[in-house]
Chains A and B, each alone.
Chain A
């Protein structure tokens, strides 16, 4: 089936079988291997991407369902000049990754939430809900929670300082 996916702003005209999940199409057809697959059961969250701004499990969506949609993956987080996204800087500063397998999923679930509600840092229970969405076998979660809070804080402070991030 012929579809068009817009991934990180770039249009990808594709011909895919309906049975293929979004994660596989992103990795194999679009060659964007930043999106990881852990369980393929919707549990681990490593495959989380944004579809039309909303965080979803790309192992529980068929690529054909996203025809005409705009998808954002971890490759689309950094600025055009390669400048890391505030979340990426915060993950680095807080040591929120070790092996890094889970990191793209955590970054995307956090990016979706931060964009939908820049004040999310003010509701710790919602941040806990995000951190609890995905599985990390290395860090013990606490540094991830701190990193998300740090990025949220930076973002709101940046806005207060006149909008320069």
Chain B
């Protein structure tokens, strides 16, 4: 099918875009990278009367460090994060590990991180990372700007706290300190599928003991999740010597955390080729492996001279 007819506007500023979206007479859609929207329009699952193309709004492509946060503007494309230097320290490393799982280079050159937050697909890598790290979503409406915390933002598949007339201008992430190690592992059927399950982890370790753990679960529920119960089980645990995530003994704290994430935190939905039991198994295994990766990352970060992190 081809997209149905629509009116098309190209605002040059955020207030112009918000004014266009506020036009109550017409069903409007923001067009950012278009890598989800145009597909949905082909399928005619979305039939906007007005498309507001934000690609020519100056400044929305800005990626900036402001204090101890990274601010990602609405036109920052996925491909920017392929370099671990796009964001300082472990945050850049986490993004670089995750981004290669998102579609392919020609889709990553158009699709935006903020568009992923707007679209809120349960299998979105960025959305789970944002949830695990307590990202903030900046939305602009006719009444001005408001900030929504990631934990309050996702309401279900493709459902968020954003009102239809609002534009997301940016997502803000807290920077991660150098005592934090990161991991990201994804499991998918083929190169062309979305994640069956993926896990993001950030472990903050001081004197060999885990002080803080953040675990994001991708496609493990109807929305991105933070695995709070598994995280609590890790606090105060000694990281111990490096282990191979593929041969994690059952009694290892990371294996234990994986089982907690799979049984207490996740609420997986059955999909073709992945029923609930299979997904729970995959979650337990992947959480264990990702925690090993994060612990190893933290060790290698300690071993490097400060400020020279890759």
Give A residues with C-beta under 8 Å from B.
1, 17-21, 24, 40-43, 45, 48, 54-57, 59-62, 64-65, 109, 112-113, 129-130, 132-135
Contacts and interface: CB of A to CB of B under 8 A. Distances in A.
Given A64-B8, A65-B55, A129 B2 contact: no
14 contacts: A1-B8, A18-B8, A20-B2, A24-B2, A42-B38, A42-B107, A54-B106, A55-B106, A56-B110, A57-B35, A59-B42, A65-B31, A65-B34, A133-B105
A55 to B, nearest CB: 4
Given A60-B38, A64-B8, A65-B34, A19 B105 contact: no
B2 A19 contact: yes
B5 interface: yes
Given A57-B106, A57-B107, A130-B105, 12 more contacts: A42-B38, A55-B106, A55-B109, A56-B109, A60-B107, A60-B110, A61-B38, A62-B31, A64-B53, A65-B31, A129-B105, A134-B104
Contacts, number: 78
B147 interface: no
- The 4 lowest CB-CB distance pairs between A and B, nearest first, are A18-B8, A133-B104, A55-B106, A60-B38
Interface residues of B, number: 26
A54 B33 CA distance: 13
Contacts of A1: 8
Contacts of A133: 104-106
Contact of B42 (A17, A41, A45, A56): A41
SS class, residues of chain B in contact with chain A: loop
B105 A65 contact: no
B237 interface: no
A34 B38 CA distance: 22
Contact of A45 (B7, B51, B106): B106
Contacts of B4: 19
Contacts of A134: 104
B6 A54 contact: no
Nearest to A48: B106
Contacts of A40: 42
